[in-house]
Amino acid sequence: MEKNQPVKTKYTAFVASSIDGRIAKNSKSGIDWTSKEDWNFLQKSLANTDAVIVGHNTYKIYESRLKKRNTVVLTSKTVKPRLFGSVFFLNPKKINLRNFLQSKNYKNVSILGGARVYAFCLKHKMLDELFVTIEPYVFTNGIAMFTGDSFKKYQFLLQSVQKINKKGTILLKYKNEN
């Protein structure tokens, strides 16, 4: 019997940010300040995705939409992966997330945040492409885009810059060079 070649999963992170790199007021707050152009871009991009990864707070905020998708919710509140409908709750300290996603044969996985999930995926080599939408605001406080344990210099390569509306929302596409 021939064994199938394992699928190479591609990981794409989508971030909507203020100019000063803030993605939310606090860990419980939704996003009501992003442009419709960013929303449209995200929805179009997610049409090609096999599964999304989110943290527990992000899942709670967008539950009604996310439970319709293949969603992996990273949480410390479970030991074994638990499946409800199309939503897996998984503790990445107990289970190897990469292997888990590979076993599902997902080709395209999207990372939707929050800040600790973006940093987790980057640290664990599950972030190949990064889309950052910068909305024209400064917040001066709130949740920073990536929240990792320590300062580290991850090199990216800019692939494109687009201005997506008149007020000056820009969309940056980066490739992870690490």
Where do contacts with its own copies occur on this chain (CB under 8 A)? Answer: 17-22, 25-26, 33, 119, 122-123, 130, 132, 134, 136-142, 144-159, 161, 163, 167-170, 172, 174
- Choose between 11 and 88: whose C-beta lies nearer to its own copies: 11
By C-beta, is 9 or 133 nearer to its own copies?
A: 133
Give 70-76 contacts, CB < 8 A, sequence gap 24+. Answer: 70/104, 70/106, 72/97, 72/100, 72/101, 74/117, 74/120
Nearer to its own copies, 18 or 49 (CB): 18
Q: How far apart (Å, rounded) are the C-alpha atoms in residues 41 and 10?
A: 18
Nearer to its own copies, 12 or 169 (CB): 169
**Tokens found for residue 66:** 């996310």
Q: Measured from the CB of residue 84, what is the shortest distance to its own copies in angstroms? A: 30
Report, in Å, the least distance between residue 133 CB and its own copies.
12
Q: Please state, in angstroms and rounded to a whole number, the distance separating the CA atoms of residues 58 and 113.
A: 7
Shortest spacing between CB 106 and its own copies, in angstroms: 23
Nearest distance, CB of residue 51 and its own copies, angstroms: 23
Amino acid found at 136:
P
HSE at residue 1, side-chain half, CA atoms within 13 A, is 2
